[in-house]
Amino acid sequence: MISRPALALLLAGSTILAACGDSAAEQEAERTEDAIEAQAAADAAEAAPEEEILGMTEAQLLEADLVDADGNELGDIALVERNAMRTVTGLLVELEGDRYVTLRLRDVSPRPDGDEVDVQTTLSSGQLAKLPDADIDPTSDTMTGAGSM
């Protein structure tokens, strides 16, 4: 996990860089994305290298695309969500338009794609669109999505 002071420093730095002409909404979206990426990197570094989620390491998951049954890209895996006991509870996924939702592990599976492995969801793009936005607080120690259907 990333500490609050480190996260605050990261956010301050990204705020200065983002202030170069972007609107307030764009700056906030950039800060949120930076915080998610920092949390994901910290979690991946903290995870045991041999730990597997869906048969993949956390680092592999963070490189994976979210795809449908036909292999069409639906989004990107942004963060592996964990509870206070560090048990994996879901995946925070970035959909089109910088929108974040949480998927339960039962709604996804690994899908080989050449030398890489993507994450395939059983949910349609319409079902993904109906999921609630993840509740992201870039100033907290951990990030948790709102959950899925």
pLDDT in tens, 113-135: 888 899 999 999 999 999 999 98
Q: What are the CA-CA distances from residue 71 to residues 64, 77, 80 (Å)? A: 12, 15, 21
**The model's pTM:** 0.64
CA angle, residues 61, 8, 26, in degrees to nearest 5: 70
Helix, strand, or coil (residue 104): coil
Angle 4-18/24-46 helices, nearest 10 degrees?
A: 140
Question: What structural domains and CATH numbers belong to the chain?
Answer: 4-130 (2.30.30.240)
* Ranges of the chain whose pLDDT falls below 50: 1-11, 18, 145-149
